[in-house]
Structure 1
């Protein structure tokens, strides 16, 4: 049995507690995204899974905070915020930009001696490869909106409302600026944790071959699964995705 409402006492997380948690699943949103992207996940996952949906600064309940200016700043702060939650097995999930955030957090946690049970990534290649091939849109409104509509399809309609667009554009622009400046230093850090990669078979932002690049940073052979659809394939296939995710999570 789960509480009906998320605990947001820690601004970094929308925490969906479980009565007898055996694993914590930390979910990092896409560029411009919020913790609300994962609001439906707790009810679809086994009762022993506690979900921590990450809330980046600069949006929703953190609207008055400045957005992170670099991937290092964001990952450093998130890794620190996770320290009180390391008493259970920890699994990190990220979609799109969230994949890079989750990877960088995993690197930091492992570097400090913490165990990460698994890294689950979606809709983005490994950072050291994605940086070399990425073609970021311009940061003006027109270019950003064109890219959002290309990737999100009908879901991008929220940006058609001027009042909402005024609220949504600043964090979206900040996240794209962060990604544009993100360049992993040196050789990629190979995780001790195994990596599983998910993607849409028709994703213009992450061709299927890009998912294979995660094998270069995985602590064991890469596990990959594709679903029909584009960049936001997971919205149409959430149940199937979460069934697969649940199979990979530590059990009581």
Structure 2
């Protein structure tokens, strides 16, 4: 599986599966808890002709499995923000589940630094202001595996592989610790346009939970409900790519960049 050097930025954190089109806007993808950059490869492929797609690789998994895991969402967001390329390409963020919170927090840092993102897309996660007490990170290993099965995040046959499970669980526990200990700051509101996505059968993120993201931006807000559970995105890569591309390119158009849009073509 070829991965090209993302160029500027921290290559430990960023993966580029396809060469970047000249002058294309950038899209940064942030995976779920326990997830890795390769999860988003089908999505990156679908958008590679129109975006410079970078996918975040968290420590503690795959080629970073020997690095210490992170158990604090603020530290995660700080380090991802620092790892982003420092060039002037317009940038959009998309995160799923834990990645949605990270996309939101990284966007807050970008805005504070005077580099507001084009757009932020979140899926599979309730809005930060919808608080619930979650304690998955306190479960034993069997409890974590049960959570994975219920979420359908990992094929059951893989969970039967004890060596693989031992590799997955430390990073997964660290991610759940980071998410479940994080609290939403009172002033956590973006100016960037925000698109929220959820599955109609996702019991972890109901439609009202996803709609509550509207309170976290002063920009345009849009909600899309697709069929499926927590990992509904796996069954909707093509439709999802059209939604995300359209939302980001509409935001680019609103900034007055028609030449870039003409070169990239209409959203799928």
- TM over 0.5: same fold? yes
After TM superposition, the structure 1 = structure 2 runs for residues 98-247 of structure 1, keeping only pairs within 5 Å, are: 98-129=99-130, 132-137=131-136, 138-152=138-152, 155-185=155-185, 187-247=186-246
Task: For 1:122 and 1:157, locate their aligned partners in 2 and report how far apart those are by CA, in whole Å.
Answer: 26
- CA gap of 1:90–1:241, structure 2 versus 1, over 3 A, is same
> Out of 4, 13, 18, which is 1:7 matched to?
4
> Out of 25, 32, 36, which is 2:27 matched to?
25
Tell me if structure 2 keeps the 8 A contact 1:195–1:219: no
Tell me if structure 2 keeps the 8 A contact 1:139–1:176: no
Task: For 1:230 and 1:214, locate their aligned partners in 2 and report how far apart those are by CA, in whole Å.
Answer: 19
Tell me if structure 1 keeps the 8 A contact 2:21–2:51: no
- CA gap of 1:79–1:153, structure 2 versus 1, over 3 A, is closer
- CA shift at 1:189, angstroms? 1.8
- CA gap of 1:88–1:30, structure 2 versus 1, over 3 A, is same
Task: For 1:172 and 1:182, locate their aligned partners in 2 and report how far apart those are by CA, in whole Å.
Answer: 16
- CA gap of 1:46–1:219, structure 2 versus 1, over 3 A, is farther
Deviation digits for residues 82-141 of structure 1 (CA, Å, limit 9, x no counterpart): 142x41110000000000011000001100111200000000012232xx2243323311
- CA shift at 1:21, angstroms? 4.0
Deviation digits for residues 38-76 of structure 1 (CA, Å, limit 9, x no counterpart): 111232125131110000111111111111120111100
SS of the residue 2:79 aligns to: helix
Tell me if structure 1 keeps the 8 A contact 2:119–2:192: yes
> Out of 58, 61, 72, which is 1:59 matched to?
61
- Structure 1's unaligned 5+ residue stretches are none
SS of the residue 2:152 aligns to: helix
SS of the residue 1:124 aligns to: coil
Number of residue-to-residue matches in the alignment: 245
Give the structure 1 partner of residue 95 of structure 2.
94
Task: For 2:142 and 2:79, locate their aligned partners in 1 and report how far apart those are by CA, in whole Å.
Answer: 31
List 4+ stretches of structure 1 deviating above 6 A. Answer: none
SS of the residue 1:7 aligns to: coil
Tell me if structure 1 keeps the 8 A contact 2:20–2:48: no
- Structure 2's unaligned 5+ residue stretches are 250-260, 264-268
After TM superposition, the structure 1 = structure 2 runs for residues 74-93 of structure 1, keeping only pairs within 5 Å, are: 74-84=76-86, 86-93=87-94
Tell me if structure 2 keeps the 8 A contact 1:193–1:218: yes
SS of the residue 2:150 aligns to: helix
Tell me if structure 1 keeps the 8 A contact 2:194–2:219: yes
Deviation digits for residues 2-60 of structure 1 (CA, Å, limit 9, x no counterpart): xx822256010111332324111100000000001111123212513111000011111
